[in-house]
Amino acid sequence: MSPSVFSSTLQTIYRLGTWYTVYRLIIAFSLIAIFFINYLQNRSVYSQSGFYFYILVIYAAIGIIQMLLFRYVPHIISKQLIALFFIDVTYLSLLTYANTGPDLSIGLLFVITVLAANFLLKKNQALLVTLTAIISIIYQHFVSSLIEDHQLNHIGNSIFLAFLFFVVYALGQYSRKRFQFLESLSSTQSIKLSTLQNINRYILEQTETGYLVLDETLQVIVCNPAAHTLLELENNKFNKYQSFEALHPQLFELFQHVTLLKQSSFQFKSENSLFHINIQIQKLVLPEQELSMLILHDSQKLNQQVQQLKLAALGQLSASIAHEIRNPLAMIVQANELIQESDEQEKNHMHRIIATQSERIDKIITETLNMAKNKAIFPIKINLKNFFQELKKNDFSAYQDKIQLNIETDLEIYFDETQFLQVIHNLIRNALRHNSNPNQPIQILAYSEDKNIYIDVIDFGKGVSKLELSQLFKPFFSTEIDGTGLGLYLSKSLCEANQAKLSYVEQDNIGACFRIECSRTI
């Protein structure tokens, strides 16, 4: 049976066991060599030289046999390991006896054996090997004194080695648990990484967007099938770490030109190509390198998607307009039916209803047309302090006590002045309408942080509920009975057209806060 069919843990034990059998042979032949060197120089070094030599030779022969068995009969690894360690303990015990007592150099070999047993055997088996080694060290001198009347001169060494074996056993068990934990963690992470790689590969293969990833030397390290198709490459032309210039010379030349101009996107169409490609460049900064990713889109498909989105938006807008106009139309029809049978007072009332609902329909249509006109933008530099002071003085003169300004000096933004005025008018009127605290004026704050300028319009009403937040900037959504629901939607669209951002900021028991975020002018 090949070790390849083992589980991950058994494979690890097999590899460690193989190295341990090699170590045993190295120790056996090294001790034989040391014996001959010492014996030739001084024959009195070994008190039982013949016994010592035969132990070494027998152990070397057994080591060779066990290594072969370990290599060619791996299906009984656990039994072989148990036999291997008990042979080692017996062998080292006999060496200690032949050397007339515990020797710290032989004791070190005992320590290595005990430590290896903790990694290669089960906990109870490793404990049995440790206890056997301790018993062998402490009591083998009693056998020696019975046979040859030797004194127990090395009892201190024996006790020290016995204590050391217990310490090594404890450390071995702790290390084994840590090793198993790290191995399990590594295996789990490896499975997760493999799963993520498979998912990423599947996504890259299935997406219609082409991806080319280049390293710092402009070698192509990723080229998915969509990129193959869009660039009309041969099926087997791409090889990992292939030169970008060799893969597509024409695109390579244009890419270098665009990179020098520091552009983030460009259009590409090769000769005799069916595709007109829109290419975006993104930098991927990794810990050890910086990659360039080219994102390739078929321009024709992009245009089709844009048209589909426009049609969908038009359909949604038409449905919303129809829904909003239906109610006032119904009231006009009803009033027109009742006006024939009414007296003068009721007729006047019906006329007022018809006029009011007609104005509402006209207002909806006018604001919708303004929203759809897509007027040209002419941004200018606007000093916010001067702008808001003039606005409060001229446009909101009747609300001087109800509007509080807190504008930092020297704040300037680029914005189309007419559109900015329209946005601020919408926000201030909304704030005045919803401010339920008569003693607290609404606040208009303008301040800067980092490279951005923020304009906050804050009221002290009930704020916006959680249910209304998701609908807040959608067209025709309004909490007011007579509101068209186009004010915030139009304001947000105008801000985005001027490279600004309008958002709602939740307050803690204060009211509503609408924030405009703009870039600071240079």
Say if residue 454's pLDDT is above 90. yes
Burial grade of 341 (CB within 10 A; 0-12, 13-18, 19 or more): exposed
pTM over 0.85: no
CB 161 within 8 A of CB 140: no
CB 410 within 8 A of CB 384: no
CB 70 within 8 A of CB 114: no
Token pair in block for residue 322: 């129809």
Q: Which is the CATH superfamily of the domain at 208-298? A: PAS domain (3.30.450.20)
Cα 239 from chain centroid?
Answer: 28
Q: What is the mean pLDDT of residues 59-76?
A: 84
Please, which pLDDT band fits residue 395 given cuts at 50, 70 and 90? confident
Please, which pLDDT band fits residue 386 given cuts at 50, 70 and 90? very high
Q: How far apart are CA 494 and CA 406, in angstroms?
A: 24
Q: What is the mean pLDDT of residues 498-520?
A: 84
Neighbouring-strand partners of residue 266: 279
Which pLDDT score, from 0 to 100, does residue 446 have? 92
> Fold identical between 208-298 and 379-519?
no
Backbone angles phi, psi at 471, to 5 degrees: -100, 0
Helix (H) or strand (E) run with residue 268 in it: strand 265-268
Helix intervals (H) in 373-416? 384-394
Question: Which fold is adopted by the domain 379-519?
Answer: Heat Shock Protein 90 (3.30.565)
Say if residue 157's pLDDT is above 80. no
Say if residue 150's pLDDT is above 50. no
Say if residue 338's pLDDT is above 70. yes
Q: How far apart are CA 279 and CA 9, in angstroms?
A: 49
Point out the least confidently predicted range of 32-36, 222-226, 341-345, 499-503: 341-345
Give the residue among 281, 330, 278, 324 at the shortest CA–CA distance from 304.
Answer: 278
Q: Where are the domains of the chain?
A: 3-187, 208-298, 302-372, 379-519
Q: How far apart are CA 3 and CA 21, in angstroms?
A: 16
Q: Please check whether the domain covering 302-372 is classified as CATH 3.40.210.
A: no
Helix intervals (H) in 261-373? 299-339, 344-372
* Residues 493-512 as b or e (16 or more Cβ within 10 Å = b): bbbeebebebebeeeeeebb
Q: How far apart are CA 82 and CA 87, in angstroms?
A: 9
Half-sphere exposure of 240 (CA within 13 A, CB side): 2
Point out the least confidently predicted range of 102-106, 241-245, 441-445: 102-106
* Average pLDDT taken over every residue of the chain: 78
Point out the least confidently predicted range of 32-46, 85-99, 382-396, 458-472: 32-46
CB 91 within 8 A of CB 55: yes
Please, which pLDDT band fits residue 4 given cuts at 50, 70 and 90? very low
Please, which pLDDT band fits residue 375 given cuts at 50, 70 and 90? low
Half-sphere exposure of 215 (CA within 13 A, CB side): 10
Q: How far apart are CA 313 and CA 332, in angstroms?
A: 29
* Residues 312-325 as b or e (16 or more Cβ within 10 Å = b): eeeeeeeebbeebb
For the chain, the C-alpha Rg in angstroms (whole number) is 44
Q: How far apart are CA 475 and CA 488, in angstroms?
A: 8
Please, which pLDDT band fits residue 447 given cuts at 50, 70 and 90? very high
Q: What is the mean pLDDT of residues 454-463?
A: 87
Angle between helices 77-98 and 8-41 (to 10 degrees): 20
* Higher-confidence position of 219 and 74: 219
Say if residue 354's pLDDT is above 60. yes
Please, which pLDDT band fits residue 151 given cuts at 50, 70 and 90? very low
Burial grade of 167 (CB within 10 A; 0-12, 13-18, 19 or more): exposed
Q: What is the mean pLDDT of residues 28-50?
A: 73
The 10s digit of each residue's pLDDT in 5-15 is 455 667 777 88
